[in-house]
Amino acid sequence: EEPTTNTGGSGGGGIMTRVPGGVRGKRKRIVVTGGAGFVGSHLVDRLIERGDNVIVVDNMFTGRKENLLHHMANPNFELIRHDVVQPILLEVDQIYHLACPASPVYYKYNPVKTIKTNVMGTLNMLGLAKRVGARFLLTSTSEVYGDPLQHPQAETYWGHVNPIGVRSCYDEGKRTAETLAMDYHRGAGIEVRIARIFNTYGPRMCLDDGRVVSNFVAQALRKEPLTVYGDGKQTRSFQYVSDLVEGLMRLMEGEHIGPFNLGNPGEFTMLELAQVVQETIDPNAKIEYRPNTEDDPHKRKPDISKAKEFLGWQPTVSLREGLPRMVADFRQRLFGESKSSVS
């Protein structure tokens, strides 16, 4: 399958591939920044499965080579250790820009680095998109809504964000990244796509990631108490990773810029989540209360009408269906029990 014609350029371009029986079609050249991380590695699986050429650009801050090991021998796959804060030259058709730590524990660890990743990293990837005429997708976040005064949150809501708080490096960083994407679109005609992702969980999350679902699952499996921060009455809406990846690909391939909320509207308090984890893993798991973190949003639930209408997308995996799949993966990684599906 050697490339014969390089049509280059647009997001719809790609490499014509000749296979026995004739030309098969266009294989796209796609960069996934942050592709060694949790969401990115699941996205890479789907793109490789579809027959695309995938280049992952990742500095391995929260990513792991293990997430991509199964592609290492594939000639359609390439892993580049690179920090998106630095410029890079590549020739591609599409850019999925995910590079950025997503867990509060990691994005607060070096906040200035988080800002640089969101601002300089996004600027570099947009500069790359401009130079080669690639389509660019930004993985923004529900955090752009801050501690929301509107519930559920629709894309038209401008948010309620503390610009000088400990979460600002991430939420203001992502807001700036959205601004950059729109300014490159309006100013340089770049084809951009913006996804606002709500809390997502699934296999391959780091065991010590610090986010609530991975914490509770790892704690229950290790027979440790589940750490509930604050009174546990704050809410989040949890999306299984395969639903998110489907939404991201539809957004990239579709004709709409967004922003689009991608999330599961099923809303849970942290105490309700703890209960689902108890039911799934260990009914005797204890709960331990800890002080909450600063500026923690009180509630969060996506209004996904826009994604339903324009992308024909909605989540299909409920928390009670998705959690056991994640638990199987965590069990395997914690105790080396028989390997089960990680999709």
Q: Which residues lie near ligand UDP (CB under 6 A)?
A: 87-89, 104, 123-124, 127-128, 130-131, 199, 211-212, 215, 227-229, 234, 236, 270, 292-293, 296
154 binds, among ligand UDP, ligand NAD, none (CB under 5 to 8 A by kind): none
Kindly give, in sequence order, each residue whose CB lies less than 8 Å from that of residue 307, ignoring residues fewer than 6 positions away: 247, 260, 261, 262, 313, 314
Out of 45, 52, 58, 303, point to the residue binding ligand NAD (CB under 6 A). Answer: 58
Q: Is 101 helix (H, G, I), strand (E, B) or coil?
A: coil
CA 330 – CA 311 distance, rounded (Å):
32
Burial 104-136 (b: 16+ CB within 10 A, else e): bebbbeeeebbbbbbbbbbbbbbbbbeebbbbb
CA 6 – CA 22 distance, rounded (Å):
16
23 binds, among ligand NAD, ligand UDP, none (CB under 5 to 8 A by kind): none
Out of 31, 54, 68, 98, point to the residue binding ligand NAD (CB under 6 A). Answer: 98
127 binds, among ligand UDP, ligand NAD, none (CB under 5 to 8 A by kind): ligand UDP
Q: Per rule CB under 6 A, is residue 304 in the interface with ligand NAD?
A: no
Give the DSSP per-residue string, 286-310: -EEEEPPPTT--S---B--HHHHHH
- Give the nearest distance from C-beta 47 to ligand UDP in angstroms: 21
CB nearer to ligand UDP: give 120 or 154.
120
CA 243 – CA 317 distance, rounded (Å):
7
Catalytic residue positions, numbered? 170
94 binds, among ligand NAD, ligand UDP, none (CB under 5 to 8 A by kind): none
**In this structure, what are the phi and psi dihedrals at residue 287, rounded to the nearest 5 degrees?**
-115, 135
- Give the nearest distance from C-beta 298 to ligand NAD in angstroms: 17
Is 302:313 a contact under the CB 8 Å cutoff? no
Structure tokens at 192: 């951009």
Q: Which among 103, 106, 167 has a CA at the least distance from the CA of 296?
A: 167
Q: Per rule CB under 6 A, is residue 62 in the interface with ligand NAD?
A: yes
Strand partners, 237: 267
Burial 151-187 (b: 16+ CB within 10 A, else e): ebbebebebebeeeeebbbbbbbbbebbebbbebbee
Which range binds ligand NAD by CB under 6 A, 69-77, 195-203, 215-223, 322-330? 195-203
Q: Per rule CB under 6 A, is residue 270 in the interface with ligand NAD?
A: no
Q: Per rule CB under 6 A, is residue 141 in the interface with ligand NAD?
A: yes
Q: Per rule CB under 6 A, is residue 121 in the interface with ligand NAD?
A: yes
Q: Per rule CB under 6 A, is residue 238 in the interface with ligand NAD?
A: no
268 binds, among ligand NAD, ligand UDP, none (CB under 5 to 8 A by kind): none
Is 243:264 a contact under the CB 8 Å cutoff? yes
CB nearer to ligand NAD: give 7 or 316.
316
Q: Per rule CB under 6 A, is residue 40 in the interface with ligand NAD?
A: yes
Residues contributing to the site for ligand NAD (CB under 6 A): 33-34, 36-40, 58-63, 83-85, 98-102, 117, 121, 139, 141, 197, 199-200
